[in-house]
Amino acid sequence: MQNSIAAGRRLATRLVVVQGSVTLLLGLGFLLQGWRYGLAALFGGGAVALGTALLALRSLRRRAVPAGVALLQLIAGVALKWTVFVAIFYLALVPLALPPLPLLLSAVVTLFAFVVAAGWTT
């Protein structure tokens, strides 16, 4: 069984689209409680989706690389993902003072959507 770089890119694109869709749905749902709740939900899910996109861009280059280099690219991508995630959460909680519940709930649901969408076969 072979797994091409193109297949990895397609999977990453599908994951980011699913996470973005879940984020928008949660944002619209929390918008019923007020604009700050909707914005918090968008920040939470958006942090996860943006982190996933950056991880994919960092890890999935155009050409095949040796295993050690691929592992380092993956580690750097994961570090970048969580750095962006923490920075966006800090921005949402401290300077903007958005409600924490929709922020956290949206992030958790969007992370769960990653697991579900990664298991789909096309």
- According to the model, what pLDDT value does residue 64 have? 79
| Number of domains composing the chain | 1
Asked whether residue 52 is assigned to any structural domain, the reply reads: yes
Asked whether residue 121 is assigned to any structural domain, the reply reads: no
What residues contact residue 118 under an 8 Å CB cut-off, 6+ apart?
11, 15
User: Which of the four pLDDT bands, split at 50, 70 and 90, describes residue 1?
Assistant: very low
Asked whether residue 36 is assigned to any structural domain, the reply reads: yes
Asked whether residue 65 is assigned to any structural domain, the reply reads: yes
Residue-wise pLDDT tens digits, 18-28: 999 999 999 99
Residue-wise pLDDT tens digits, 48-98: 999 999 999 988 877 778 889 889 999 999 999 999 999 999 999 999 999
DSSP string, 6-58: HHHHHHHHHHHHHHHHHHHHHHHHHHTT-HHHHHHHHHHHHHHHHHHHHHHHH
- According to the model, what pLDDT value does residue 2 have? 60
Asked whether residue 83 is assigned to any structural domain, the reply reads: yes
Asked whether residue 122 is assigned to any structural domain, the reply reads: no
Range of the domain at 50: 5-116
